[in-house]
Amino acid sequence: MLNVQNLTKIFTLDKQKITAIENVNFTVETGEFFTLLGPSGCGKSTLLRILANVEKPTSGKIEWTDHPNIGFVFQNYALFPYLTTFENIAFGLKMQGVNARKRHETVKELIKEMGLEGFEDKHPKELSGGMKQRVGIARSLAIDPNVLLLDEPFSSLDEFTAESLRKLLLSIWHKRNMTIILITHLIREALELSDRITVMTHSPGTIEKILDNTLKRPRNVRSPDFFAMEDRLVKLIKD
């Protein structure tokens, strides 16, 4: 569904040229859970922003076979501080001009699904990190996306919260026919969630290898198979 060809992005900062990503090529199938794994500063965030069309590539091509309706989940939530939970989730629909009754229906359902009942009228300031990210995910789901991009969505959260949100993300993915592209620097997170893992290296960011994650779902992160796959991935990164 997505075909990325020879993507390069060069930033100019104080007349100095910095190559964020260079000659990146990959494809993502419809309904696939695809992960870009790499260290901080390898340009994976830039790559995701180009896919979301908030950053222009210097050269290269992005082809979507179906028209992408993109949802985006940010590492630091990027919620609108002046809006309540309800209004934040409804934001995309409001911008599309969906009427108030329809918005209310959709948001109500999402609030239930995301476990945000009782927090409808709270502002982001009054929410915990985990709750904020639930709002962030719900805001994306409200526009009924066929592609969900997630930029280190659980990296600012404690491990307990992160784990429950990973489970939630998987249940969301199973329920909907959605392509997910996830960015992370956590090897375990990549293995637990995704169908395929792309390893990126930095300066400049390029794609090194792609791993087919053949582990059966639901995945047990303490099973021997999981450890074996982890070894394979670590070896792939080191080589």
Partner 1 sequence: MSFQTKWCYDKGMRYTHNIKTLRKRKHVLTISLTFTVFLLLLILVLGFTTLDAKQFFFGFGESLTRVSMAYIVAVFLAMILTIFVSASHKIEAVSLPILDVLQSFPSFALFPLFVVWFGKTAIVTIFILIITMIWPILFTLLTAQKQIKQDVNEAAKIFGATGWKYFYYVLLPLLFPAIITGSIVSWGEAWEAIIAAEIIVGVPGVGTYLAQAGTNNQTHILVIGILLLLLLLFILNKYIWLSLLNSSTRYQQE
Q: Residues interacting with partner 1, by CB under 8 A?
A: 49, 52-54, 70-72, 74-76, 78-82, 91-92, 94-96, 123-125, 139, 143
CA dihedral defined by 81, 84, 88, 91, rounded to 10 degrees? -110
Q: Which is nearer to partner 1, 32 or 151 (CB)?
A: 151
Token reading at 104: 């209310």
Cβ at position 149, least distance to partner 1 in Å: 9
Q: Which is nearer to partner 1, 76 or 223 (CB)?
A: 76
Cβ at position 133, least distance to partner 1 in Å: 13
Cβ at position 14, least distance to partner 1 in Å: 11
Instruction: Dump the DSSP string for 171-197.
Output: HHHHHS--EEEEEES-HHHHHHH-SEE
Q: Which is nearer to partner 1, 139 or 196 (CB)?
A: 139
Dihedral of alpha carbons 59, 60, 66, 72, sign? negative
Q: Which is nearer to partner 1, 33 or 74 (CB)?
A: 74
Structural contact between residues 64 and 2, judged by C-beta atoms closer than 8 angstroms: yes
Cβ at position 121, least distance to partner 1 in Å: 11
Token reading at 139: 């805001």
Token reading at 134: 């639930």
